Amino acid sequence: MNIRRSLIDFATRAVDRGSRIAERSARDSHNMDVVLLWALQRAGSTKGLLFPADYVELLRSCLEKRELKVAEIKTDSGAPSNIAARRFSSLVDALRQPPPIEFSTAEQIALIADSYRGNLMPLEFNEWTGDVRSHFEISSSEGIKGRILTTTVRFTRSNQCLELGTAYGMSALFVLEALKPRDADTRLTTLEGYEPLFSISSQVLAARYGKQVSCQLGSTQEALPRLVESLGPVDFVFHDAGHSRDDYVRDFQAVLPILRQGAVVLIDDIRWESPRFFQGATGCYDGWLEVVDHPRVRRAVEINDAMGLLLLGG
């Protein structure tokens, strides 16, 4: 009799909990729809949106609750417990449900993205040809990537940041907005190898952030070694430049001398393959694993099977 009563109580609690979760999910979804409708009406009446559906979708990806797959593939259990290690652990936990972007920040970045979609300037990359709009839509950071970047900068309390591969400056916007609340002297240096994209993004970033951002032109293979010589210690590196095994390994080796103990490196597209821009196998994942194997890498995490996150030791 007691067993039967226990099973009934357990089933009742499970149904109640499921009902509360469903109710909360429906409420969250309704609240998000209200916010997005209000944002769209406001932007449409004052900003002259070109692509309202894309504008709303970017806002949604910045704001609504999301869950990410986070898998740790290298753990240095013998590493001493220090502030950098504790911050990294907190970061990994936070990335499973990345915090939303502040609304005002998401709104400004979504408006910049809308202006890029209105740019029909022709572009050519090797075998690919198109325009700024089409290239922007297949290559630029969306809200989830932005949340990963802002969460990383926030939880690691990075001050000096380096980005390899500026493109249209979308990732840089998220990083620089994450640096804003900091009292310390903060700065982002960003390197882009393709001139048309450099001109577009550097104008946008310099106009918004002035001396807090330094936009540099050149490929990582040629310009990064010289750039490293001019930079002081760096807390955070975001790699979104060349996508191949050789690019990942070479660029990581190049920045190692300026990475502080406790620095964090985020590498995008660790499983990237794209015949539109690269002929043959890229070897990206092999390059990622080779980087992970470096003795200075204390911990390594894969996010949604697409991005790699590293904690550096001394």
Q: What are the residues whose beta carbons fall under 8 Å from the beta carbon of 73, sequence distance 6 or more? A: 292, 300, 301, 302
Q: Is residue 136 part of a domain?
A: no
Question: Do 5 and 56 reside in the same domain of the chain?
Answer: yes
Q: How confident is the model at residue 113 (pLDDT cuts 50, 70, 90)?
A: very high
* AA identity, residue 247: D
What local confidence, expressed as pLDDT, does residue 81 receive?
64
Q: Can you tell me the distance from the alpha carbon of 101 to that of 35, in angstroms, rounded to the nearest whole number?
A: 14
Q: Is residue 132 part of a domain?
A: no
Q: Is residue 131 part of a domain?
A: no
Residue 225 tokens, joined: 């070694």
- pLDDT mean over 66-83: 84
Half-sphere exposure of 304 (CA within 13 A, CB side): 16
Question: Do 106 and 191 reside in the same domain of the chain?
Answer: no
Q: Is residue 128 part of a domain?
A: no
We report the CATH number of the domain holding residue 257 as 3.40.50.150
Look at 74-83, 197-206, 229-238, 246-255 and tell me which has the smallest mean pLDDT: 74-83
Question: Do 71 and 13 reside in the same domain of the chain?
Answer: no
The dihedral region occupied by 268, where left means phi > 0, alpha psi between -120 and 50, and beta the remainder, is beta
Q: Is residue 127 part of a domain?
A: no
Question: Do 84 and 105 reside in the same domain of the chain?
Answer: no
Look at 111-115, 225-229, 230-234, 282-286 and tell me which has the smallest mean pLDDT: 282-286
Q: CA separation (Å) from 191 to 76, 188, 239, 249?
A: 31, 10, 10, 17
Look at 21-30, 39-48, 148-157 and tell me which has the smallest mean pLDDT: 21-30
Predicted structure pTM score = 0.89
Question: Do 205 and 193 reside in the same domain of the chain?
Answer: yes
Question: Do 73 and 25 reside in the same domain of the chain?
Answer: no
Question: Do 265 and 194 reside in the same domain of the chain?
Answer: yes
What local confidence, expressed as pLDDT, does residue 142 receive?
86
Q: Is residue 125 part of a domain?
A: no
Q: Can you tell me the distance from the alpha carbon of 107 to that of 250, in angstroms, rounded to the nearest whole number?
A: 37
Q: Is residue 43 part of a domain?
A: yes
Question: Do 222 and 92 reside in the same domain of the chain?
Answer: yes
Q: Is the pLDDT of residue 178 over 70?
A: yes
Question: Do 232 and 284 reside in the same domain of the chain?
Answer: yes
Q: How confident is the model at residue 16 (pLDDT cuts 50, 70, 90)?
A: low
Q: How confident is the model at residue 48 (pLDDT cuts 50, 70, 90)?
A: confident
Q: How confident is the model at residue 35 (pLDDT cuts 50, 70, 90)?
A: confident
Residue 99 tokens, joined: 């915090």
Query: Domain count of the chain?
Result: 2
167 strand-pairing partners: none
What local confidence, expressed as pLDDT, does residue 33 receive?
84
Q: Is residue 95 part of a domain?
A: yes
Q: Is the pLDDT of residue 1 over 60?
A: no
**Please, are residues 100 and 59 in contact by the beta-carbon 8 Å criterion?**
no
Question: Do 159 and 238 reside in the same domain of the chain?
Answer: yes
Question: Do 18 and 87 reside in the same domain of the chain?
Answer: no
Question: Do 49 and 167 reside in the same domain of the chain?
Answer: no
Domain of residue 273, residue span: 67-99+144-312
